[in-house]
Structure 1
Amino acid sequence: MAALRAADQGLKVLIIEKAQKFGGTSATSGGVMWIPNHQLDGDKGDSRESALAYLDATIGVPVNRERLETFVDEAPKMLKFLESTGVQVMAAAWPDYFPDRAGARADRSIVVPTFDGRHLGDDRYALMREQYNRFKLFGRYAMDLTETFTLMMQSKGWRGTAAKIIGRYWLDRSTRKVSHRDRRFTQGAALMGATYEQVFKRGGELRLETKLERLLVDEGGQVTGVEVSKFGRKYEIGARYGVVLAAGGFEWNQELRDRFYPIPGLTRHSSTPEDGNRGEALIEAEKIGASTEHTEQGWWIPTMTLPMPSASNFHEIHQAAFDVGRPWSVVVNRNGVRFVDEACGYDQFGQAMVRDHLATGANMPCWLIFDSKFRKKFSAGGLMPTVHTPEHKVPADWWDHYVFRADTIEELCRKVSLPADQVQKVVANMNEYAKTGIDPEFGRGMNPYDQMFGDPTSTPNPNIGPIDTAPYYAVPINNGDLGTKGGLRCDERARVLDQQGNPIAGLYAAGNNSGTPFGDTYPGAGATIGPAMTFGYVAANDIAERSANQRAGA
């Protein structure tokens, strides 16, 4: 977005990317932008005041108020600009993650429809980072969000949807001659593909396999460019008007996790591209005096680990964001105790894991326990439902090492070292809650967000069903992430600040490279990408304004 906006303002832009593919974490994501008061379909009742009231009701730590208000004010302008370039956008009916708080709505999450990846050109189409297998049917066929939820829930007509997806892929014979990749870029790939297309149309340059080595600073302390390396060869690139650091967070750097997080967790539990975001940009900015904020926070999401089916010596990380809140299941810590509304937002789930582990030392991992009804219909991280992966197709090395199965709850507890009496009590409680539809402990399934990802066939509560049909299963759940929530401290103009709170001339940051404007909260779907694109837009505006002033005075 920073490159697109700057190029649109007539500036010469260069994007450097250390990986062999472009698109970053966003291309592998759901591709949602949280944009309050967007006014896409006219005035539907949202407002600046409503958005700020909601954020005030959810944020629990001090934040930069000016920066927060700038996000609320500039995000709709960014979206309008994006749309004006030719990128299609539309609002999704996705409840805010705290639906009971003042100002909450269900229309602030913005998505981009399916994008034809070959519009990037056949030389680039296969170079955009692909989505993970979990976002594709059978690890091959692209699905948009509607198709994903239809198949995830086995909704009416789901078999026809699957057939359509597969048929569409194989009938595209011209693309099959170019690459195995589906030309339909969906979700995050749609957002990034459509945005990059507009960057390239405006003459923006992209260099792959190009790694940041250090920031170049002149005698007056202004950032004037970067030193980079490509396959070990180092060289310098001058930046006439500014450098925008948008290199993601530090979730793949164990040393930084150990330094910043109250419970560090492991890099390999992250669900972002493996070994991608290692915090190099943050480290280099710190070397020239930059400060940080909110670095104790992550964009948490529950994950689980499985061997790769075709290469069992290697592992894949699978998100379990919605799996943990399905009916016919429960989550307990290692003491066999529930600690959260399992169907809550995935970031809230991760924060609950952190709190519980600090209090008990018995979390990370916790355990998702479910019965055969759940197994038949839903995924448990990477364990697909029986309609996709029947028992006889589950690899032999998974059983009782990654996925545990037993004929009784007592035997299952013995296998995973949980206190059987306590877990049986929890299961009995859940079975009673399934009858009444009321979870008196945590309110599971009793708000619109929970219910959106429940099962309407489970009544009276779509998120709770009796755990009573053998065999029973358990999988360990780790506190994974979608990236780090803290980073370089920036002002409302996206300028990186030094230890005294003064802007470092010529240096900007956006996305997970910077501290989130939301502090400790995750207000809704797209709350990572929405601010990332907004402050990329804000940074480009500031750079363009400065460049115009400099050119006028030259």
Structure 2
Amino acid sequence: MTAQVQSQSSYDVIVVGSGAGAMTSALFAADQGLSVLIVEKSDKYGGTSAISGGGIWIPNNHYFAAIGGRDSAELSMQYLKAATGEHGDPVRLQAYLDNAAPMIKKLTSNSRVRYAVADKYPDYYPQLPGALPGGRTLDPELFDTSLLEEELPNLRKPSPSTLLMGRIAWTARDAHKAMARSFGWQWLIFRLMARYKLDFKWRRKSKYDRRAALGSSLVASLRRSLMDRNVPLWLNTDFQDVLLDGDRVCGIKVATGGRILELKARRGVIFGSGGFEQNQTLREKFLPQPTKASWSATPPGNNTGAALEAGLNIGAATALMDWAWWAPTIAVPGEEKPRGVFAERAFPGAIVVNSLGHRYVNEAAPYLEFVDAMYKDNRKTDGRTVPSWVIFDGHFRFHYAMGPLMPAQVMPDSRLRKEWLNTVYWKADSLDQLAMQIGVDGAGLSNTVSKVNQYAKTGVDLDFGRGGNVFDRYYGDSNITPNPCLAPMRKGPYYAMRLDAGDIGTKGGLLTNRHAQVVREDGRPISGLYAIGNCSASVMGTSYPGAGGTLGPAMTFGYIAANHIASSVPVAASTAPEAVS
């Protein structure tokens, strides 16, 4: 990297961050003949994208159309307007819808990125007009990581929770089949494990699968595509500030290798560096309380809000600063970050309660709405809902996963790490004993369990409607009737696990226009500065329309930014700032 720094300090486009949106913008800029540099604060590339599911929410996409799916721009806009409500900007929403489908078609045609349609993955708000029961979410195909060659060690490793047995890659479609225990799921698991075991040559190099899936696949395929184009990616390069030529952003200042460097951007700077969820000071300033960076399921030490603060310093407007992409999390000792709890909340036989022993939300609800409900109930109960507790019995424990606990039929309690007892999970022979251990009101918990057991018999959750829509049922057990998301809890031992009010990134940030340009309070763009992904205020407002509602817009507005930069009139050449120590 030192040789690169010494030989070149001026580029057409500089991209800050190396997640999916950042790398997509770099790729499209490079394909239009622009010289591009990507700078990444961490010693690994991929950011939060690499540890995500990698899905992208792309309305009216060509994959769905190819299998006979019916969607349209009009139907998609109807749904988005209903989902985003007063927080939706029709101009930005239109820009998203106009560009999302062309973006993924061009990306998959001209790079190594490959997707498949998740035709059974419903939109998150099936009750809203324009919602579809599947087809708008795309799922990354597996990618052979040996193609990364010398860049493989620098790829951020996926979260253990996204891998089968903590090391085997599988697509979201495969994971759904196994979790919903659909026909053939056991044969699927056997086939995946056999594929991994028989790859003897690769397993001598690494305990992890040769193949990448989910967000790891997306990031790996994007990085290989950028390698094909000779686009440099500098690691351990910490963005410090923007450089200005009058009111125009003309470059960035970075710290790397013990030096401060000033790098010129002739055409534009694209912020794709994530939100501020790892900055405790900013969390306390903007987000609902209580809040902790340690609850976030994002990489510690990254996403500290540097781009946000740089934008604020030059007069950028912001929006949605009190929102995050909420997701409940479970902390696991020894792991660098907590695990998000996404699908497991829909499995039948587990409930979530506050310290009064009361349910307060449909456990199968989308994760953003789940934590939003957690905070609302916390205010209502004077601080008795953050944290919450997920409770389940021995039957659930045997058949289903919860956080780091694989089903007991594969991972019995005797095989769990001893230090997890009373830190990751609590266990007792009766509900009263369990309630006492975790500080939950025993009578309240007992009454709640009795009520839910009755709901399981009738199949109707009279309190919160769990399992009453197609989204809830997506991760329910297809073998359970009359409601795949409800089962009685009556077989000891009983278990509890703590749920924190976590997130997978912040939602608020720099306000942008339809070209992804950062704007001032009066709406005027800051020339030369673009923002995409979680460092920008989400086009989705306070909603989460479907799986991939973070990465889909990040990549789409990365595409929009690259196109806008390429079509702009080049700034007259000037002497590039020299590196200073």
Q: TM-score range by the shorter chain?
A: over 0.9
User: Aligned residue for 1:510?
Assistant: 532
The answer as to whether partners of 1:250 and 1:279 remain within 8 angstroms in 2 is yes
User: Aligned residue for 2:395?
Assistant: 373
User: Aligned residue for 2:60?
Assistant: 37
Q: 2:418 aligns with which of 371, 396, 400?
A: 396
The answer as to whether partners of 2:427 and 2:493 remain within 8 angstroms in 1 is yes
Structure 1 residue identity aligned to 2:214: Q
1:534 aligns with 2:556: yes
Deviation string 1:462-493 (CA, Å, 9 cap, x unpaired) is 00100111111111111111111111100110
The answer as to whether partners of 1:402 and 1:476 remain within 8 angstroms in 2 is yes
Give the stretch that moved more between structures: 319-328 or 203-212: 319-328
Alignment of 1:188-199 (within 5 A): 188-199=215-226
Give the stretch that moved more between structures: 497-506 or 24-33: 497-506
User: Aligned residue for 1:25?
Assistant: 48
1:6 aligns with 2:9: no
User: Aligned residue for 2:16?
Assistant: none
User: Aligned residue for 1:116?
Assistant: 144
TM-aligned CA distance change 1:541 to 1:527, over 3 Å: same
Q: Distance in 2 between matches of 1:57 and 1:10?
A: 40
TM-aligned CA distance change 1:226 to 1:264, over 3 Å: farther
Q: Distance in 2 between matches of 1:264 and 1:405?
A: 27
Q: 2:83 aligns with which of 58, 63, 77?
A: 58
The answer as to whether partners of 1:376 and 1:387 remain within 8 angstroms in 2 is yes
Alignment of 1:70-219 (within 5 A): 70-86=95-111, 87-93=113-119, 94-105=121-132, 106-120=134-148, 122-153=149-180, 155=182, 157-176=184-203, 178-218=205-245
Structure 2 residue identity aligned to 1:286: L
Q: 1:300 aligns with which of 326, 338, 357?
A: 326
The answer as to whether partners of 1:153 and 1:378 remain within 8 angstroms in 2 is no
Q: Distance in 2 between matches of 1:179 and 1:390?
A: 26
Question: What is the aligned-residue RMSD (CA, Å)?
Answer: 1.8
Please state how far the C-alpha of 1:377 moved relative to its aligned partner: 1.3
Q: Distance in 2 between matches of 1:439 and 1:177?
A: 51
Give the stretch that moved more between structures: 169-178 or 326-335: 169-178
Q: Distance in 2 between matches of 1:20 and 1:526?
A: 26
Structure 2 residue identity aligned to 1:397: E
Q: Distance in 2 between matches of 1:426 and 1:483?
A: 32
Q: Distance in 2 between matches of 1:180 and 1:453?
A: 29
Alignment of 1:327-366 (within 5 A): 327-360=348-381, 361-366=383-388
User: Aligned residue for 2:576?
Assistant: none
Name the SS of the counterpart of 2:227 in structure 1: helix
Provide the aligned length of Structure 1 versus Structure 2: 544
Please state how far the C-alpha of 1:180 moved relative to its aligned partner: 4.1
The answer as to whether partners of 1:511 and 1:531 remain within 8 angstroms in 2 is yes
The answer as to whether partners of 2:58 and 2:138 remain within 8 angstroms in 1 is yes
Q: 2:457 aligns with which of 415, 421, 435?
A: 435
| TM-score relative to the length of structure 1 | 0.94
Q: Distance in 1 between matches of 2:80 and 2:273?
A: 26
TM-aligned CA distance change 1:63 to 1:550, over 3 Å: farther
The answer as to whether partners of 2:267 and 2:570 remain within 8 angstroms in 1 is no
User: Aligned residue for 1:252?
Assistant: 278
Q: Distance in 2 between matches of 1:227 and 1:59?
A: 36
1:461 aligns with 2:461: no
The answer as to whether partners of 1:270 and 1:481 remain within 8 angstroms in 2 is yes
The answer as to whether partners of 2:118 and 2:173 remain within 8 angstroms in 1 is no
User: Aligned residue for 1:491?
Assistant: 513
TM-aligned CA distance change 1:47 to 1:157, over 3 Å: closer
Name the SS of the counterpart of 1:5 in structure 2: helix
User: Aligned residue for 2:466?
Assistant: 444
| TM-score relative to the length of structure 2 | 0.90
The answer as to whether partners of 1:2 and 1:539 remain within 8 angstroms in 2 is yes
Give the stretch that moved more between structures: 173-182 or 508-517: 173-182
Structure 1 residue identity aligned to 2:485: N
The answer as to whether partners of 1:154 and 1:377 remain within 8 angstroms in 2 is no
The answer as to whether partners of 2:62 and 2:101 remain within 8 angstroms in 1 is yes
Q: Distance in 1 between matches of 2:323 and 2:336?
A: 26
Structure 2 residue identity aligned to 1:343: A
Structure 1 residue identity aligned to 2:130: G
Give the stretch that moved more between structures: 102-111 or 175-184: 175-184
Please state how far the C-alpha of 1:72 moved relative to its aligned partner: 1.1
Please state how far the C-alpha of 1:354 moved relative to its aligned partner: 1.5
The answer as to whether partners of 1:136 and 1:142 remain within 8 angstroms in 2 is yes
Name the SS of the counterpart of 1:445 in structure 2: coil
Please state how far the C-alpha of 1:542 moved relative to its aligned partner: 0.6
Please state how far the C-alpha of 1:100 moved relative to its aligned partner: 1.4
Structure 2 residue identity aligned to 1:198: S
User: Aligned residue for 1:324?
Assistant: 345
Alignment of 1:468-483 (within 5 A): 468-483=490-505
Deviation string 1:474-525 (CA, Å, 9 cap, x unpaired) is 1111111111111110011000012322111100000101110011000000
Q: Distance in 2 between matches of 1:405 and 1:178?
A: 39
The answer as to whether partners of 2:508 and 2:537 remain within 8 angstroms in 1 is yes
User: Aligned residue for 1:311?
Assistant: none
User: Aligned residue for 1:240?
Assistant: 266
User: Aligned residue for 1:226?
Assistant: 252
TM-aligned CA distance change 1:91 to 1:548, over 3 Å: farther
- The alignment-based identity, stated in percent, is 39
The answer as to whether partners of 1:305 and 1:382 remain within 8 angstroms in 2 is no
Please state how far the C-alpha of 1:92 moved relative to its aligned partner: 0.6
Please state how far the C-alpha of 1:179 moved relative to its aligned partner: 4.2
Structure 1 residue identity aligned to 2:540: F
Deviation string 1:84-129 (CA, Å, 9 cap, x unpaired) is 2133222112100001111001110012211111222x20122211
Structure 1 residue identity aligned to 2:262: E
Deviation string 1:395-447 (CA, Å, 9 cap, x unpaired) is 33322343111111111111112111111111111010011001111100010
Please state how far the C-alpha of 1:458 moved relative to its aligned partner: 1.9
Please state how far the C-alpha of 1:158 moved relative to its aligned partner: 4.5
The answer as to whether partners of 2:297 and 2:338 remain within 8 angstroms in 1 is yes
The answer as to whether partners of 1:322 and 1:346 remain within 8 angstroms in 2 is no
The answer as to whether partners of 1:290 and 1:497 remain within 8 angstroms in 2 is yes
